[in-house]
Amino acid sequence: MSKEVLFEKLCINNSSYRRLRDYEQNVGSQIVDQLSNHYRFVVPTNDWIDELEIFTNRVYNKYKGTIYMKKTKNLIYLFKRSWKISKGLIFIAALKSIFFGLQPLINIVGLGIVIDSLITKLPLSDVINYILIFVGVNLAFSIIGDILDLIDVILQRKTSDVMQMEYMEDCVNINYHYVQDKSILDLKKKSMSAHPAFFLRDISKFSSYIIQFAGIVFIFSLLSVYFLIAIFITSFFNVVLVFAKRKKEFNFKNECVEDEQRIEYIFNVMTGYRFAKEIRINNAGALLKGKYHNVMKNILSKFKRFCNKLTLINTTNTIITVIQTFIMYAYFSYLVFDNKITIAEYTVLLGATALLTNILISFFDNIASINQTIKYTDLYREYKNDIKMRSGISLSNQNKKIDIDMDNYIVVFENVSFVYPNTKKIVLDNLNLEIRKGDRIGLVGLNGSGKTTLIKLLTRLYNPTKGKITLNGIDIKDIPLKQYSDYIGIVLQDFYLFAYTIKENIVFNKPFNQEKFEFSIEKSGLLNFIDSLENKEETYLYKEISKDGLELSGGNGQKLAIARVMYKDSDFLVFDEPTSSLDPIAEYDMFWQLYNIAKDKTSLFISHRLSSTKFCDKIIVLDNGKMIEYGTHEELMERKGLYHELFSIQANQYLKEGS
């Protein structure tokens, strides 16, 4: 057996180490890692095993206070968060705890009074009055309970909507790179269980159990303290099992997060309209089905192990409950035969004991559930902290708007270098560039030369690794993102259209101007196409929302993306392969339109078809992240460098195709 395997086996049997693992987010994972690194590669002797036991106990005891303090802070945080999201939900939870706490006690006592009135042979009218009061009180409590449940459901839905919007805003605000970061996605998935509605539901139940418990203890205190102690002792084992069950559920749920994400992705791909063509053309259904079955096989394997553990816990719990029930019936039957209690009291005590047994199990199950939510709150707080740390670009919106003269501006790249996160390759290397108002610049280079990366930095999808980009001498990082994004209009190579109307895809949330809208669709070449549609610009795209949604061709989709930029009417226009889906004639016409539109604006063009660069005043040639050439088309052709080589190759290719 290797030292590593032996270490893991020994640690599994060490209670302090297990507790540190359970609470590593509270005390910091570095403590556990430090422990592991210290002992993992030493020779496993008896002294080492004893030392490990002593060390882990010492570390756990040292941080035990931190763990419980963190739990308390999380509990307070949950209350504050619940109050902030929905004050009404807290109020309803408090009312429900009172009504649902009193209702079982009233039922037990009321039933005992009715039975006692029958045994003592009270007049029929009195018995009927007791029954009517009993039924009336129950009816009132039931109606009030139903009303509270209805209000609770509505408020829970509103709370869920607030949280869902919060998560969506996080995705919008987080820096572009982290949108698909797996660690963030996993943390987000786990943190969703820290829901205020779940917490308040458990707190409401907790309060109800306290009320019921106090009433039952009062009833039993009139009977026998020893019986109460016996029930508590047998219920203790149920409590231990409940906590064990909750722990298994927590671990199982977290173990399945990655698998559930894979299943969700496969489902979206197999049922999504946009993947339908690829799946059919490439017969990808078999691949996706195989992926699905492999993931499900893994989930079912974990689920089987989880169910086996749960079955053992549930069986043991059932045996203890049967023993409790036997003790209860035997003891009360003895008291009846010994004439120490009446049949009516016997009925009340049976109901009270059954309720107590259920309360003790449910009460500690409830505590375990609250404890679980507190753990998820730790994950939620870690998630929010990560979001805050990784949302630096959007956080600039908190800055005050800066007065910038856009009638006479200059954008400067000063010694800009860039390396994509978690990589080492330098994509842009010490780039220096000036772009003045009215410049029409073409950006040329082979694939991977850094063209699209330059655009991503200019549009603030990323910040430079080194150097800075300034607008009129102001670092663009200091300009509020909303203000800065208004200055730039861009057609991305991999643009996306939303499953809303054509109008909404062009205008977004800007004020609608009919004249400006018609100008945009006319200049982009969409006017005749839109006029031919039954619902004109109110036509929906795709079928995710509307059954009559329209699937645009690649060319029309690109024209719509261009119309979007025209409507935005920004000072600085960026076109990243804006005509890649158009035929050569349509492409030439579109470039001529873009040239006319951008006459009084700054424009930056990226296109693999170098004939489009003739429309540009200056051309930048990138190679391996460096700017190796800069000048007009004529100047670069005379230098006979990389630009001359690329242009000549394309020109010869067009001549061959033409012949």
* pLDDT given at position 65: 55
* pLDDT given at position 366: 80
Q: Of 29, 46, 69, which residue is a domain's last?
A: 69
Confidence of residue 109 (pLDDT cuts 50, 70, 90): confident
Interhelix angle 15-22/3-12, nearest 10 degrees: 90
The pTM for the full model equals: 0.69
* pLDDT given at position 333: 83
Q: How many residues does the chain have?
A: 659
Give the C-alpha separation, 263 to 30, whole Å.
Answer: 32
Do 437 and 409 meet the contact criterion of CB atoms below 8 Å apart? yes
Residue 562 lies in a domain: yes
Residue 74 lies in a domain: no
End-to-end Cα spacing for the chain: 74
Q: Of all residues in the chain, what percent carry a pLDDT higher than 70?
A: 82
* pLDDT given at position 272: 67
* pLDDT given at position 581: 58
Do 392 and 463 meet the contact criterion of CB atoms below 8 Å apart? yes
3-state secondary structure of 555: helix
Residue 176 lies in a domain: no
How are strands ordered across the β-sheet holding 440-445? 488-491, 572-576, 602-606, 440-445, 618-623, 626-631
Confidence of residue 125 (pLDDT cuts 50, 70, 90): confident
pLDDT in tens, 597-625: 777 788 888 877 776 777 788 899 998 88
* pLDDT given at position 475: 92
Q: Beta partners for 604? A: 441, 574
Per-range mean pLDDT, top range of 223-232, 268-277, 416-425? 416-425
* pLDDT given at position 225: 66
Q: Of 21, 41, 69, which residue is a domain's last?
A: 69
Q: Of 42, 69, 96, which residue is a domain's last?
A: 69
* pLDDT given at position 259: 83
Residue 395 lies in a domain: no
* pLDDT given at position 5: 47
Residue 525 lies in a domain: yes
| Domain region containing 34 | 3-69
Tokens 């409401």 -> residue: 204
**Distances, alpha carbon 154 to alpha carbons 88, 97, 141, 151, 203, in Å:** 10, 18, 20, 5, 18
Q: What is the CATH number of the domain that holds 507?
A: 3.40.50.300
Tell me which residue of 17, 206, 240 sits closest to 93, measured CA to CA. Answer: 206
Residue 633 lies in a domain: yes
Identity of residue 467: G
Q: Taking 90 as the threshold, does the pLDDT of residue 659 lie above it?
A: no
pLDDT in tens, 13-41: 555 555 555 544 444 444 445 555 554 44
Query: Token digits for 253?
Result: 């749920």
Confidence of residue 427 (pLDDT cuts 50, 70, 90): very high
Query: Token digits for 333?
Result: 């039957």
pLDDT in tens, 51-63: 556 666 665 555 5
Confidence of residue 189 (pLDDT cuts 50, 70, 90): confident
Residue 652 lies in a domain: yes
The total of structural domains in the chain comes to: 2
Residue 31 lies in a domain: yes
Q: Taking 90 as the threshold, does the pLDDT of residue 416 lie above it?
A: yes
Give the C-alpha separation, 524 to 235, whole Å.
Answer: 75
